[in-house]
């Protein structure tokens, strides 16, 4: 076990949390808990122009729903706060000044128009403009200007940025837990902006300073940050600080396997890419969430864990505790992980079977009440099973129904189509099924079955089976000739739960009523 592990998940509050971000948070969480460490949520809101109201709370809610609460966060601070970068502004200028004093950074006064002009000039010559060692002495900065000129510009309040002075003709040897040894030629690196004259740092400076001050031991983040790895290592060297270990996670790919998964893919193929529903405060647009679509958080965590990680065994179903015990960054793949919407449903189906029936019944009850009420309004209801009121079905009864149908369900939203006949009588009968089930003599057979049911005193599933199957056998009638039309009478189609379970649940009177109705209609 690695000692004193501290990891951070550092999203920007610019909108809802994408599944890629949730996967990054999950891998950080698993690694921290595996080593008895701390999982920290830091909100990186230095770019105030992109700040979106409600996004920070959404991130916290999403992590909590997934069962990954942060040990330290803006709402649960520890000893390393503040946990919002916008509240740490006073810290960064000091460190930017330190880099200037040590010669590792410099003031640059080039305007955006001047830089655009340089870029266009390079493009006409078939070159790419990079602000670094090969041209910085020709540009407007504290390396090319005298100290007096620099001080005059600062005193006059001219706009400036502080740039990192990337080294020339040096090969960096970097190490990544997932990707191994990486070599970078510093000649191709640009002098990144670290600090702006508005008093706000860029991500690069704030990220390094915060990770150091918060004593982060491992930086586990997405592959898109790999190009910044060299700069971040150099910043640690420039400050004389020990760098954390780095691990860059593979991309989550579209279901086709080509390109990074986006919200557009979800919209196009009909699956969410956010953990919770998101309502855009500016446009009012609502984006679907896994929670609202009926996924269990355990299912989401389980399928996200397999996007890029492999336990090395055949096991696919993992509880959070099992994931924590099994997780190892060295078993994370380098290549992108294809997102499979069908596999996410497979996981949810499994976790459906694990859910407590009473909890499922409580979640299903509003759907039942709404549909039963609708049936009543339309004048198409049977005798609803309701001890406490016509359109208020007893939750204990619903729990019994759930136990019979959940094996075939993936989502709670599937329950009504699988169980409507337990609550309302059929008002129509599947035409194809009717032709298949109703033959010459079927009415007489059903009339006899209704009579048998009416005469049963001990009305249980076992008694129903014994009496009806015994009658079929003793009269040498094919089971299909009885059971198909009986099912049609009860359900309206040749599908549904066990026929004897249905009759027991809806009761003797309702069972006979439905049989007599189908005889009359068909």
Encode pLDDT of 368-408 as tens digits.
999 998 887 765 444 444 433 345 789 999 999 999 999 99
Please give the Cα distance from 501 to 404 (Å, whole number).
8
Residue (of 209, 7, 204) closest to 88 by Cα position: 209
Model pLDDT, residue 389: 38
179-187: long-range contacts at Cβ-Cβ below 8 A with a sequence spacing of 24 or more?
A: 179/226, 179/248, 179/334, 182/229, 184/229, 184/230, 186/230, 186/234, 187/133
For residue 514, CA distances in Å to 419, 422, 478, 489 come to 16, 12, 22, 6
As a whole-number percent, the residues of the chain with pLDDT over 70 amount to 97
Model pLDDT, residue 386: 42
Enzyme catalytic residues = 263
As a whole-number percent, the residues of the chain with pLDDT over 90 amount to 89
Statement: residue 196 has pLDDT above 80? yes
Statement: residue 87 has pLDDT above 60? yes
For residues 17-29, average pLDDT: 97
Q: What is the pLDDT of residues 214-271, one digit of tens each?
A: 999 999 999 999 999 999 999 999 999 999 999 999 999 999 999 999 999 999 999 9
Q: What is the pLDDT of residues 33-81, one digit of tens each?
A: 999 999 999 999 877 788 899 999 999 999 999 999 999 999 999 999 9
For residues 439-447, average pLDDT: 94
CA 346 to chain CA mean position, Å: 15
Q: What is the pLDDT of residues 117-159, one digit of tens each?
A: 999 999 999 999 999 998 999 999 999 999 999 999 999 999 9
Please give the Cα distance from 264 to 412 (Å, whole number).
26
Q: Which residues pair with 332 in a beta bridge?
A: 309
Arithmetic mean of pLDDT over the chain = 93
Q: What is the pLDDT of residues 454-489, one digit of tens each?
A: 999 999 999 999 999 999 999 999 999 999 999 999
DSSP single-letter state for residue 216:
-
Q: Does 263 belong to an annotated binding site?
A: yes
308-322 burial code (b ≥16 CB/10 A, e <16): bbebeeeeeebebee
CA 481 to chain CA mean position, Å: 49
Model pLDDT, residue 168: 84
Residue (of 389, 370, 392, 373) closest to 381 by Cα position: 373
Report phi then psi at 157, rounded to 5: 75, 25
What's the pLDDT band for 1 if we cut at 50, 70, 90?
confident
Model pLDDT, residue 378: 67
Model pLDDT, residue 27: 98
Cβ atoms 404, 497 nearer than 8 A: yes
């Amino acid at each position: 076990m690695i000692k004193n592990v501290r990891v951070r998940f550092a999203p920007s509050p610019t909108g809802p949390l994408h599944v890629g971000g949730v996967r990054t948070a999950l891998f950080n969480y698993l690694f921290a808990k595996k080593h008895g460490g701390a999982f920290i949520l830091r909100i990186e809101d230095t770019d105030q122009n992109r700040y979106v109201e409600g996004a920070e709370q959404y991130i916290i809610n999403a992590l909590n729903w997934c069962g990954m609460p942060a040990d330290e966060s803006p709402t649960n601070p520890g000893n390393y706060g503040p946990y919002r970068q916008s509240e740490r502004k006073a810290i960064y200028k000091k460190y930017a000044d330190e880099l200037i004093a040590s010669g590792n950074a410099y003031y640059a006064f080039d305007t955006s128009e001047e830089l655009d002009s340089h870029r266009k000039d390079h493009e006409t010559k078939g070159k790419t403009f990079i602000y670094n060692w090969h041209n910085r002495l020709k540009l407007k900065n504290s390396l090319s200007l005298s100290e007096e000129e620099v001080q005059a510009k600062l005193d006059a309040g001219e706009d400036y940025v502080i740039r990192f002075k990337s080294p020339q003709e040096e090969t960096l040897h970097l190490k990544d837990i997932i990707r191994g040894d990486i070599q970078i030629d510093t000649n191709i690196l640009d002098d990144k902006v670290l600090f702006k004259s508005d008093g706000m740092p860029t991500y690069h400076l704030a990220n390094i300073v915060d990770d150091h001050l918060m004593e982060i031991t491992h930086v586990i983040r997405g592959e898109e940050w790999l190009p910044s790895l060299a700069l971040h290592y150099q910043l640690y060297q420039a400050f004389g600080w020990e760098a954390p270990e780095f691990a860059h996670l593979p991309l989550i790919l579209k279901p086709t396997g080509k390109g990074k998964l986006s919200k557009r893919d979800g919209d196009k193929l009909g699956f969410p890419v956010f953990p919770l529903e998101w309502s855009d405060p500016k446009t009012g647009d609502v984006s679907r969430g896994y929670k609202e679509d009926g996924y269990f958080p355990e299912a989401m965590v389980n399928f996200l864990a397999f996007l890029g990680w492999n336990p090395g065994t055949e096991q696919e179903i993992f509880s959070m505790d099992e994931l924590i015990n099994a997780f190892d960054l060295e078993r994370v793949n380098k290549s992108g992980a294809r997102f499979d919407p069908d596999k996410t449903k497979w996981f949810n189906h499994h976790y459906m079977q694990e859910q407590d029936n009473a909890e499922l019944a409580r979640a299903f009850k509003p759907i039942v009440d709404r549909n039963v009420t609708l049936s009543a309004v339309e004048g198409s209801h049977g005798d609803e099973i309701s001890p406490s009121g016509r359109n208020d079905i007893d939750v204990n009864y619903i729990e019994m129904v759930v136990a019979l149908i959940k094996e075939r369900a993936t989502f709670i939203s599937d329950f009504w189509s699988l169980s409507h006949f337990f609550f309302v009588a059929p008002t129509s009968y599947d035409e194809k099924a009717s032709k298949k089930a109703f033959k010459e003599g079927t009415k007489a057979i059903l009339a006899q079955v209704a009579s048998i049911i009416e005469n049963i005193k001990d009305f249980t599933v076992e008694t129903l089976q014994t009496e009806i199957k015994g009658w079929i056998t003793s009269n040498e009638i094919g089971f299909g000739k009885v059971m198909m039309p009986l099912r049609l009478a009860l359900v309206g189609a040749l599908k549904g739960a066990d026929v004897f379970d249905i009759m027991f649940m809806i009761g003797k009177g309702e069972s006979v009523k439905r049989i007599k109705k189908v005889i009359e209609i068909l």
